[in-house]
Structure 1
Amino acid sequence: MNFRTPAVRLGLLPAGIALALVPSFASAQEAASGTTDLDRISVTGSRIRGANMETQQPILTMTRESLEKQGFSSVADVLNNLTSAGSPAISRSDSLSSGEDVGGAYVDIRNLGAQRTLVLMNGKRLGATTSGLQDLSQIPMSAVERIEVLKDGASSIYGSDAIAGVVNVITRKNVDGGEVNVYFGQYDKGDGDNQQYSMTLGATGERGSLTLSAEYAKQDPVWAKDRWYSRDGGKGPNSTTADWSAVSQNGSWCNPTQVDCTDTDTAVWKTLNPGGNPNNPNDYHQITGAEYANSNEQMSLLTGVERKSLYINGTYDFTDTISLNTDVLYNERNTFQQIAGYPYQSTSFETPLSADSAFNPTAVNGVGGQDVDFRRRLWEVPRTTDSQLKTLRFAPTISGYFELAGKSFDWDVGALWNRNESIKTQRGDMSLIGSQQALGASFINAQGVAQCGTAANPIALGDCRPWNPLLPYGVAGQGSLADQDLQDFLFPTYTTRGVTKTTSFTANLSGSIVALPAGDLGFAVGVEHRKEEGSYVPDAFAQSGMSTGLGQKPTQGEYDLNEVYLELNVPILADMAFAKELTLNVASRYSDYSNFGGTTNSKFGLTWRPMDELLVRGTYAEGFRAPTIADLYGGLSSSFERYIDPCGTTAPGSVAGNGPCSAAGVPANYVQLGQAGEVCGTLPCQSGDQFISGANPNLSPETSKSKTVGLVWSPRWVQGLDVSLDWYRYEIKDMIIADSVDRILRDCYVLGDSSRCDGIVRAADGHISALTYGTANLGSMETEGYDLGVKYRLPELGIGQFNIDWQTSYLAKYDESAQNAAGDNIMIGRVAQDALFRVRSNLAVNWALGDFGVNYTARYYSGMNEDCIAIGCTDPDRIANGEAAPLRKTGSNTFHDLQVSWKAPWDATIALGANNVFDHKGPLMYSAPNSSFAYYGGFDIGRFLYMKYTQKF
């Protein structure tokens, strides 16, 4: 960059213009204290350039210096630590999650959902999945200069998805020199190794600059068997074996020659005696709870992540008034997750052990047997998923300024090409084609080897391998699933591919129109054309349904849109008594979508400064979120859902035996059945059958209204103190949600709406064997709360410099639409449930003396509540909305972090630290919020120790 050009002297940095396409102003604290940074002319939340503008909305800025004082090594971890951030959409603890989005890292502002927080990189959209989630792992930490978080609706400025707020990650540029960073950490239990290596090089010349940042990061998985709350696999008090799966790795079968195996009340399931002969029916005993499967022994608690990134920024001044800024990013992210071997039940796939199998214990010398139903967890081959995402991003912008009639105007023209390519490689789901053959007729050949087919019509060993599902895990023998050749025959590798593309072209013009008595009337106007394309194509086995995996169909679609916006900043009063400033900001944006038409969204902001040290601000904003490609064009997918069957006698508010239940053939004494046809011990209970869900091409956009009012106070009599308090309220309507299983069952059986019963299929014993449902604009929600920020830089003392940063978020209201027993639509309060914390608070204290520094942080979470049926209820008699609503309540939690740093004489910085230094443990949460285990997925899972080394040159 040429620092002698007139453009820079006027504070019109071309690189700064291009880095955001969205101008913005100094932080609220800077505004309140009357300071102004002339170089920082671009801040998230407004497109009007002007270094003398004050902020009119709540913006939180995290500088690179502040990021380095934390013990987090990724952009996602930093953002999810904000008190205003909700639970991540898919945490690393969601081992059971599947689909395109798994493996990514997301942020959720205000608990409104990650798809309602817009993420920008240098002011331009981050590429999204077909479901609209924006993966923060695409952004290398080494390339980050600062992060700005707008905690307010901004659809009038940025368009769709900016309902809850905007995260703008601004990258480094104009670097002159080099920097190398090394980060290594692990839990004090010796697992979860986290290593990160990065290098940043930069050079600046007379008319341009070039900055390169390369990063490699790897986080090893942590296993469920190695943590106290997950090792035993239970969800009840003391994690007893009663919660283990009846589908055991030991295998079990029901002898049809002795009992009616279709009758769940009389069926007896037996497993092989130690050292027993699997062909002798007398060598089996009834399986006990101690022999059930603890699936957590094979599951990853935290998924493993590996990233490779390369970021390049280049700037060039063509003239004193025209400049080029270009960003290029390549990122490759790989994640690994493992869950226990599949719980195979022959009745689910109509694949019994054939009467003609050499391993059928009801046959005598392979003759006269009966087909045998069995259960066998495929323990020898755990289910693994390797998810790879490759991102290629190119974002050039040409910007400049000109003068006309004595006024200065800024312009920029930019483009964005972002391509995400995902490849998921999965293994551990059995081929049903293979299992049908392996469980079919087989015999012992002349060489004493089990072979498919019959002696008269054998099948070559290369074409089929017989399987004995009654042979327990770890027991050798013919047909053992430990045999590598049998595994190769039964377990193919599945590959799913996806591609999403974002293409946009923008043009913006800003400046001042006329001079008003209180200042210049500022404006910004611009246009944007954007196209979104996406496809997600599951493996052919998944599409055909011929495997034990969840069935999926392809997602493929595209849409484009044209947008135009206008923003005005109107100074009303200035330098008057009780009105040092009074400014109105108005913005409106019209968006025309190819798939649903047009929408207009506006925003109004007011800034009032009655005195120099006090700022009052308020906003009112309309917002929207367009349906995503997956919402509109997604293929069918299947899942094992948790639900409460109102026709079951143990269900709260049971309607067992009423007309709709009887008409569906449900016995009056029916008790809800779960996996393996076992009676559900707790509710809601997970289905043993796959339910089907899909997209809806007739969806309309979600709409929202948000309001904020805030104060920023910087008293003159306490130098270095800034206090901010903001109130917010959001209302969202027409939310795009999956039509829940519980909602369908209530409509059908409780409310008697027969039209809602069409997709429900029940088996002869009464349990729901299949259900099909989709998405709809059925949801609405309201939330309200407060953000308090206190920053205090104490006067420098002889013992060093102290800085205090205290950020607190208070959730006063979080209501979602639901139906009560009478079928009325009501709003259900959910504060303190599902990790919707009433209070989140972070207190950071930083001390520096010479070359030494210490940073201490306390992270506070208020207590949580969860629904309960019979497990650990602390409020079993609670009534809400006229219905029984028992609760289990847990206490608050505080995690403490500590980092000690030293600036070495050779221009290096060495830091040692610990997150959760006191090894605090959160409570058991049987509802498993944001996790696949009985623990909140956002809590620390142990003491994490780390070291950081930074070398500059």
Structure 2
Amino acid sequence: MNHLRSAVRVGLLPASIALALTPVIAGAQEAETGSEATTLDRIEVTGSRIRGADMETQQPIITIGREEIELQGKTSVADILQNLTSAGSPAISRASALSSGEAVGGYYIDLRNLGAQRTLILVNGKRLGATTSGYQDLSQIPTSAIDRIEILKDGASAIYGSDAIAGVVNVITRKRFDGAEAEARIGQYSEGDGEVQQYSFTIGSAGDRGGVTLSVQYDKEEPVLSTDRWFAKDGSAGPDYPGAGWSPITHRGSFCDPCVPTQDAVWWTLNDGGDPTNRADYHPITPAEYTNANQQMLVQTGIERKSVFANANYDISDKIFFNADVLYNHRSTDQLIAGYPYGSDRFGTPLSGDSVFNPTPGTDVQFRRRLWEVPRTTKSDLETYRFAGGFNGYFELAGKPWDWDVGALLNTNRVTKVGHGDANLFAAADALGPSFINADGIAQCGSAANPIGLDVCRPWNPLLPYGVDGQGSLADPALQALMFPYYTDTGETKTTSYTANLTGSLFELPAGEVGLAVGYEHRKESGRFVPDAFRQTGNSTGLAASTTEGEYDLDEFYAELNIPVLADMALAKELTFNVASRYSDYSNFGDTTNSKFGFTWRPVDDLLVRGTWAEGFRAPTIDDLYGGIGSSFEDYIDPCGVGARNSVNGNAACNAAGVPIGYVQLGQGLVPCTQYPCQTPDQFITGSNANLVPETSESQTVGLVWSPRWVEGLDISLDWYKYELENMIIEDSVDRILRDCYVLGNASRCEGIERAADGHITNMFFGLANLGSMETEGYDLGVKYRLPEFSFGQFVIDWQSTYVSRYDEEGQNRNGDSITVGRVGEPGFFRLRSNIGVDYSFGDFTVSYLARYYSGMKEGCIPNRPCTDPDRYANGEPDAVRRVGSNTFHDVQFSWKAPWNATIGIGASNVFDHRGPVMFSQPSSNFAYYGGFDIGRMMYVRYQQRF
């Protein structure tokens, strides 16, 4: 559809945008002097560098105007975009409480489920700064500064370079705003938590030759505790399975006697009211005494933002103009997860036989203790400094107008992460070592003959349950101060680019002018992320990590042609071809060329047919190439375990690895797994790969746009899309390595796997590799209808749908045969997403309603959980599936334009408090619930005052 025409009709494209564009300004000035005016239709749209009247029709573009942003009642750009039907599962959602690293705390958008790093984010046509891993944080952009958002749902590497594989999001800010505007929005969930506050102020002054616009915004969203949500408070398996998934590493503390063999060990915990030094006062721990870690988790992290955005533009002459943007943003995010599940055997720190707290004096005790008194917290602060400025203008050559611009971008992100709650293993070993009762009756480290000062060491009794007073309690602030330091990670990324562009008309054909755009860009990316020095040593209970640091630069040249072939002919009111190509030369891996071809065919005035074919690429990021070593506690299925699906226990490869016959995979606390995938009790190591090459892609779209003349205000579009990605940079997963080693018998894949005598995997390395490939295709349907204005008001209907017909990843089955793994229907990979919005206005009153539909989901079955298709097979292997139904969430807002130039609104997201289904696989979340669904009814009020 003609998005520009529709936007103008509904008032979503303010005139200030047009005035900010070079040709428009020039045309207006020439009109004042009596010369021939330049037409007002030479605009540049996202996805093309050529300015022309119909460029916006050639590709599938969605425009979200300022009025629509206000009616959605969202506080961030990412929240607005997440409502797009083409948006995939949220990357690092606020429900992913256990996520760690540089990018945690940001807001990202993932178009087509191709990954957030494969959607390019622009601000006024220039790149948004990224983390070392390529994530572009949309929370940096204050919504008060936004004029509109253009979303190109097509590959555009030929126009913009790396990362524009799935599409491009271009956030366009307000310019030449004249006046002042203040707005406040306050809301909270109907449960009485998650309070949201947003305050903004925008002021501007515009004159004949320029203008200045300033937007200041403050946002704060309070966290939500998992104990306050029905799907999380009872544990990781949801409300129907209370106690399932609770940790055997309990806040009560326990020790094993006997401890060998590990899987048959008996763990003893203190009786209520018992003496912790009396062996007789202990009993075998029961599952009822396990710990529900969710009691110390956030189901939604808290976030606070302070943003300042300014734009200044000035007409230096009738043909030369200046424009500059400046952004400062400070984002602070809080995370909370349960105290660390400490196991002395993991760190070689038993409770000494000479400890005054040992219930078996003279014999070291292996124990387990959840460090419940000191939950793990992380405060992530990100500061963004951004300047984008340049000159643009126009001139005439051979009677043809040409537009030019030169510009520079400087974007710096500085991140600081302060963590607390991970124990210093040196301090823990000292606190668990020999101790005695001194003359003052106080437990002291060392011995009476050789005491250690209390300012250096405090004895710890890990067998004293949480909430029980006594010496050696972890609740002692002095002991906490010695055992739990604060860890500070720091990082900085910089993006510097210089650009030059030229666009105009080469010559005129019978069907119209041949448009040309050429340009050059030099860009440099540098970054580092430095984990706390002590954390890097691996001598804490936290995940070990090392420094990421590197840089690269590139030079790029592009050219784009728009060629009108036919016009005003039978069955060819318009036929236009668009071709573009971009050459990129990187300092680290070499060069690449990517091209794009598009066509526009209008057989009759009311019908438009369009299509594109595009090559795309994503260059390896600094973290991909130069990232340090990291560690994690992975969830996986050991094929050598008898409890696993498709077990190969007893085959040659498992026997060679020393895995006992009948071995059951061991999970946290070295307890046999009862559900799969099962989390390892040991840290696995992952890292970067300096030999990575760029990812490559091909995308295709074909679409129809119908705007019938006899139904004014109606636009219908239908687009088919297809993406194919090769050489995808993915983490070489634990499951893939284990399958290759033990199922397929590839001995080279077994080299990094280490196992203990009992058979469980104690260590393995899995790094990055160009191993991924996938293919997806589907359809986008859009129906917009602005009904005629009636005496009782006016209705505007906007119905957008995305249907995913396939999303396939390549893999292998147990026989080593290539297979296609279809993911459509998995959480986040919905077969159908559909939004229907209805706006009704009557005088000064407006009602906005939005229904968000998600089709049903499926997940793999695990033991002791309901399974709808237990006998299902795929690719010759058992593939039992659990299916759940569709979900619809409803949003509504009522607003009134007051006589004193104000707007008052009241609204609710998920107004009917709809609850999604329990999902045991915890998709995009660390809870039994899909992380992209609403977690309650959010009610809010907003007040906007214009001056």
Q: Counterpart of 2:131 in structure 1: which amino acid?
A: T
Whether contact under 8 Å (1:14, 1:323) holds in the other structure is no
Q: Counterpart of 2:231 in structure 1: which amino acid?
A: Y
Moved over 4 A (4+): 10-14
Select which of 84, 104, 114 maps to 2:106.
Answer: 104
Q: Counterpart of 1:876 in structure 2: which amino acid?
A: P
Q: TM-score, normalised to structure 1's length?
A: 0.95
Q: CA deviation at 1:201?
A: 0.3
**How far apart in 2 are the matches of 1:404 and 1:395?**
29
Specify the SS of the correspondent of 1:239. coil
Q: Where in structure 2 are the equivalents of 1:575-594 lying within 5 Å?
A: 575-594=568-587
Q: Where in structure 2 are the equivalents of 1:879-898 lying within 5 Å?
A: 879-898=873-892
**How far apart in 2 are the matches of 1:788 and 1:171?**
28
Q: CA deviation at 1:268?
A: 1.1
Q: CA deviation at 1:16?
A: 3.0
Residues 1:719 and 2:712 are matched in the alignment: yes
Moved more, 563-572 or 825-834: 825-834
Q: CA deviation at 1:722?
A: 0.5
Specify the SS of the correspondent of 2:675. coil
> Could you tell me which residue of structure 2 aligns to residue 451 of structure 1?
444
Q: CA deviation at 1:237?
A: 7.0
> Could you tell me which residue of structure 1 aligns to residue 734 of structure 2?
741
**How far apart in 1 are the matches of 2:693 and 2:403?**
36
Whether contact under 8 Å (2:238, 2:918) holds in the other structure is no
Per-residue Cα deviation, 1:716-766 (whole angstroms, up to 9, x for no partner): 111111000000000000000000001100111111111100100000100
Specify the SS of the correspondent of 2:72. coil
Question: Any gaps of 5 or more consecutive residues in structure 2?
Answer: 1-14, 25-37
Specify the SS of the correspondent of 2:566. strand
**How far apart in 2 are the matches of 1:509 and 1:206?**
26
**How far apart in 1 are the matches of 2:20 and 2:494?**
25
> Could you tell me which residue of structure 1 aligns to residue 925 of structure 2?
931
**How far apart in 2 are the matches of 1:833 and 1:562?**
40
**How far apart in 2 are the matches of 1:479 and 1:449?**
10
Specify the SS of the correspondent of 1:485. helix
Q: TM-score, normalised to structure 2's length?
A: 0.96
Q: Where in structure 2 are the equivalents of 1:395-414 lying within 5 Å?
A: 395-414=388-407
Residues 1:199 and 2:225 are matched in the alignment: no
Q: CA deviation at 1:897?
A: 0.7
> Could you tell me which residue of structure 2 aligns to residue 902 of structure 1?
896
Q: CA deviation at 1:266?
A: 3.6
Q: Where in structure 2 are the equivalents of 1:794-809 lying within 5 Å?
A: 794-809=787-802
Q: CA deviation at 1:289?
A: 1.0
Q: Counterpart of 1:83 in structure 2: which amino acid?
A: T
Select which of 548, 563, 567 maps to 1:555.
Answer: 548
Whether contact under 8 Å (1:609, 1:615) holds in the other structure is yes
Residues 1:644 and 2:637 are matched in the alignment: yes
Q: Counterpart of 1:670 in structure 2: which amino acid?
A: Y
Specify the SS of the correspondent of 1:184. strand
Q: Where in structure 2 are the equivalents of 1:688-727 lying within 5 Å?
A: 688-727=681-720
Q: CA deviation at 1:14?
A: 8.0
Whether contact under 8 Å (2:23, 2:42) holds in the other structure is no
Select which of 677, 683, 687 maps to 2:670.
Answer: 677
RMSD, matched Cα: 1.5
1:172–1:660 Cα change, 3 Å: same
> Could you tell me which residue of structure 1 aligns to residue 60 of structure 2?
58
Q: CA deviation at 1:242?
A: 3.5
Specify the SS of the correspondent of 1:706. strand
Q: CA deviation at 1:53?
A: 4.0
**How far apart in 2 are the matches of 1:777 and 1:243?**
35
**How far apart in 1 are the matches of 2:23 and 2:153?**
23
Whether contact under 8 Å (2:45, 2:56) holds in the other structure is no
Residues 1:415 and 2:408 are matched in the alignment: yes
> Could you tell me which residue of structure 2 aligns to residue 914 of structure 1?
908
Select which of 137, 140, 159 maps to 1:138.
Answer: 140
Residues 1:872 and 2:870 are matched in the alignment: no
Whether contact under 8 Å (2:76, 2:139) holds in the other structure is yes
> Could you tell me which residue of structure 2 aligns to residue 316 of structure 1?
314
Whether contact under 8 Å (1:37, 1:51) holds in the other structure is no
Per-residue Cα deviation, 1:457-480 (whole angstroms, up to 9, x for no partner): 000100111100000000000000
Per-residue Cα deviation, 1:314-365 (whole angstroms, up to 9, x for no partner): 00111110010000000000000100000000011010000111111111xx
Q: CA deviation at 1:817?
A: 1.5
**How far apart in 1 are the matches of 2:55 and 2:484?**
63
**How far apart in 2 are the matches of 1:311 and 1:703?**
35
Q: CA deviation at 1:390?
A: 0.2
Q: Counterpart of 1:642 in structure 2: which amino acid?
A: D
> Could you tell me which residue of structure 2 aligns to residue 337 of structure 1?
335
Q: Counterpart of 1:893 in structure 2: which amino acid?
A: N
> Could you tell me which residue of structure 2 aligns to residue 574 of structure 1?
567
Residues 1:16 and 2:21 are matched in the alignment: yes
Specify the SS of the correspondent of 1:828. strand
Whether contact under 8 Å (2:232, 2:238) holds in the other structure is no
**How far apart in 2 are the matches of 1:12 and 1:216?**
25
Residues 1:185 and 2:190 are matched in the alignment: no
Residues 1:129 and 2:131 are matched in the alignment: yes
Per-residue Cα deviation, 1:620-661 (whole angstroms, up to 9, x for no partner): 000000000000000010000011101001111111011111
**How far apart in 2 are the matches of 1:54 and 1:173?**
21
**How far apart in 1 are the matches of 2:22 and 2:597?**
24
Residues 1:601 and 2:594 are matched in the alignment: yes
Q: CA deviation at 1:823?
A: 1.4
> Could you tell me which residue of structure 2 aligns to residue 291 of structure 1?
289
Whether contact under 8 Å (1:666, 1:766) holds in the other structure is yes
Specify the SS of the correspondent of 1:773. coil
**How far apart in 1 are the matches of 2:207 and 2:606?**
41
1:305–1:861 Cα change, 3 Å: same
Q: Counterpart of 1:16 in structure 2: which amino acid?
A: L
Per-residue Cα deviation, 1:853-877 (whole angstroms, up to 9, x for no partner): 1011100000000011221110011
Q: Where in structure 2 are the equivalents of 1:325-404 lying within 5 Å?
A: 325-363=323-361, 369-404=362-397
Per-residue Cα deviation, 1:497-553 (whole angstroms, up to 9, x for no partner): 010000000000000001111000000000000000010000012210000000101
Specify the SS of the correspondent of 1:749. helix
Question: Any gaps of 5 or more consecutive residues in structure 1?
Answer: 1-9, 20-35, 364-368
> Could you tell me which residue of structure 2 aligns to residue 79 of structure 1?
81
Select which of 638, 651, 665 maps to 1:658.
Answer: 651
Specify the SS of the correspondent of 2:624. helix
Q: Counterpart of 1:295 in structure 2: which amino acid?
A: A
Q: Where in structure 2 are the equivalents of 1:689-838 lying within 5 Å?
A: 689-838=682-831
**How far apart in 1 are the matches of 2:17 and 2:271?**
81
Per-residue Cα deviation, 1:99-118 (whole angstroms, up to 9, x for no partner): 11100000011111000000
**How far apart in 2 are the matches of 1:37 and 1:221?**
51
Q: CA deviation at 1:40?
A: 6.8
Residues 1:42 and 2:36 are matched in the alignment: no
> Could you tell me which residue of structure 2 aligns to residue 159 of structure 1?
161
Q: CA deviation at 1:264?
A: 2.6
Whether contact under 8 Å (1:832, 1:865) holds in the other structure is yes
**How far apart in 1 are the matches of 2:543 and 2:98?**
12
**How far apart in 2 are the matches of 1:814 and 1:314?**
45
Whether contact under 8 Å (2:106, 2:139) holds in the other structure is yes
**How far apart in 2 are the matches of 1:128 and 1:889?**
37
Q: CA deviation at 1:824?
A: 2.2
Residues 1:271 and 2:269 are matched in the alignment: yes
Residues 1:512 and 2:517 are matched in the alignment: no
1:511–1:451 Cα change, 3 Å: same
Specify the SS of the correspondent of 1:337. strand
Q: CA deviation at 1:52?
A: 5.0
Q: Counterpart of 1:289 in structure 2: which amino acid?
A: P
Specify the SS of the correspondent of 1:248. coil
Specify the SS of the correspondent of 1:857. strand
Whether contact under 8 Å (1:14, 1:324) holds in the other structure is no
1:114–1:555 Cα change, 3 Å: same
Specify the SS of the correspondent of 2:660. coil
**How far apart in 1 are the matches of 2:520 and 2:938?**
48
